[in-house]
Homo-oligomer: A and B are copies of this chain.
C-alpha cells in the first residue's frame, strides 16, 4: 500500500492526482504522505486561460488558479514551489529535487511517483530564437512574462507590431489577444491555411475571419530568423524572404512533451516523445511510476494510434484516474477522439475524430461531405451560419470525423459527434439520433443529422 506519493509537476494532472488520492485515503482512514514539487510559482492553474488573461478578458492570474497552494496545503498536501526534479532513481525509489531559491538539493523517497511534467513550447531552430521578446506561452509564469513584456513596450511607446509564429489554437488565440492591446499582428504559418488541426478547406474560413479582424495572415511562410536590436531584443522576423517588424514575437507552434527527466531515466517514450502508459496511467513496464497530462501519449480511439494531445481536460482526467488508483480504487482512461474547440473573434471552430489528412495518413478509405446550414431554424432572427464537414469510412459506414466552423452556438455541437465516435456509430445510425430540436436551437434537421444523411447517401453512391 502506498504510504508516500511524490508528484512532479503541480498543474492539472499532478494536483488532481494528489488531491484525489489524499481524499480517498483520508476517507478510508489511511495515512498517505503526498509531496508535490513544482518548479514554477503556481499550481492548479488553467494554462488554456492565458490568452484571455493577456487579452484582458480575465482580470488577473489569480482568476486562472483553480486552487491555491494554501488551499492544497490545508488539505494536507506538502506542496513545494520553485522546486525542480533533477533526477529519478528507480531502483532506490527516490527523486532528486533542487530548490531554485536555496539551491539546496535533496532526495525524496517514494512508494509511487507521478509525473505531470507537462509540455514546453516548440521553438524554431533558427537564429535569434533566444532573443528577448520571443515568447512561448505554456505556464502561468510564461503568461506573466508576456504581459510584463507588453507593459514594458507600452511604457516605452513601442507596442506597435507583433508577429505570431504558428497559426494553431494558441497562435490564433494569442493573435487575437495581441490585437486587443492595439498591436498590428502578423501570423506566419508554414501550412496552407491556419488552424492546421482542421483540413485546409475549413482552415480557409478561419483565415478569412482573422483577416476581417485586421490580422495579416501569411501562409506557406517559413521563419528564417529573428532579427535583434542593439539591446538584444527582437525587432523583426525574417520570414518567407520578407522582413516583418516585430516589437514582440509569440510562439504558437504547439508544444512538445516535457520528458527530458523521463528520458534520462530510460522511461519508455513514444514517437512524439511523450511517455507511454497503460490504461490506468501507469508508465509502461513500471510498477510504481505513473504519468499523465501533456507529457504522455494517449490512444486515439478512431485511428488506434498513440498520439500527443496536450489539453487541460485530458490532463485533469488523467490526474483523477491516477489519484483514484493510488487512493485504493480502480480507474482507467480509455483514450481520446481528438475533440478540440477554439474561437477567433466570433467564429467558433471545432473538430473531433480524423481530418482528411489524418484519414489519408492512417490509410482509411472514406467519403467526405459538407453541409451549409444554420445554428437555429433558418427563419429565426438569431440564425447564424455554420459549416459541417464529416468523414465516414467506406465499407463499414462508421463515422470517422467531423469539423465545424460557424457562429454563436455552432462549436459545442461537436460533442454529439464526439460521443457518436466514442461509440463507433455508423453515419446511417446517426441519421436517427434524437438531437434536441426547437426553433431557437436548430433547424428541424439539425446540421449534424444532415451531415449524417449526406454521408449515408455518399456511401450508398460509392458502393453502387
The interface of chain A, by Cβ under 8 A from chain B, is 12, 46, 48-49, 52, 57-58, 63-64, 66, 169, 311-314, 316-317, 332-334, 336-343, 350, 352, 377, 379-381, 409, 411-416, 418-420, 422-423, 425, 431-442, 444-446, 448
A181 to B409, CA, bound (A): 28
Known A49-B439, A316-B445, A412-B409; contact A57-B434, beta-carbon cutoff 8 A = no
Q: Are B434 and A343 in contact (CB under 8 A)?
A: no
Contact of A312 among B169, B420, B437, B441 (CB under 8 A): B437
Q: With contacts A52-B439, A343-B441, A411-B441 known, what are 7 further pairs, Cβ within 8 A?
A: A46-B444, A48-B377, A49-B379, A49-B439, A57-B381, A316-B444, A415-B446
Q: Are A434 and B48 in contact (CB under 8 A)?
A: no
Known A58-B380, A436-B414; contact A312-B444, beta-carbon cutoff 8 A = yes
Q: What residues of B have a CB within 8 angstroms of the CB of A437 in the complex?
A: 48, 311-313, 339, 341
Residue of chain B at shortest CB distance from A48:
B439
Whole-angstrom distance between the Cβ of A345 and the nearest chain B Cβ: 11
Whole-angstrom distance between the Cβ of A298 and the nearest chain B Cβ: 10
Known A46-B377, A49-B377, A380-B52; contact A419-B433, beta-carbon cutoff 8 A = yes
Q: What residues of B have a CB within 8 angstroms of the CB of A64 in the complex?
A: 379
Q: What residues of B have a CB within 8 angstroms of the CB of A58 in the complex?
A: 379-381
Q: Are B412 and A434 in contact (CB under 8 A)?
A: no
Give the copy number: 2
Q: What residues of B have a CB within 8 angstroms of the CB of A441 in the complex?
A: 341, 343, 411-412
Q: Are B416 and A48 in contact (CB under 8 A)?
A: no
Q: What residues of B have a CB within 8 angstroms of the CB of A316 in the complex?
A: 444-445
Contact of A434 among B416, B422, B431 (CB under 8 A): B422
Known A313-B444, A445-B313; contact A436-B416, beta-carbon cutoff 8 A = no
A377 to B48, CA, bound (A): 10
Whole-angstrom distance between the Cβ of A429 and the nearest chain B Cβ: 8
A333 to B433, CA, bound (A): 10
Between A and B, 8 residue pairs with Cβ closer than 8 Å are: A48-B438, A52-B379, A169-B438, A339-B437, A341-B436, A341-B437, A416-B416, A422-B433
Q: What residues of B have a CB within 8 angstroms of the CB of A46 in the complex?
A: 377, 379, 439, 444
Q: What residues of B have a CB within 8 angstroms of the CB of A333 in the complex?
A: 432
Q: What residues of B have a CB within 8 angstroms of the CB of A418 in the complex?
A: 416, 433-436
Q: What residues of B have a CB within 8 angstroms of the CB of A169 in the complex?
A: 438
A12 to B443, CA, bound (A): 13
Q: What residues of B have a CB within 8 angstroms of the CB of A425 in the complex?
A: 419, 423
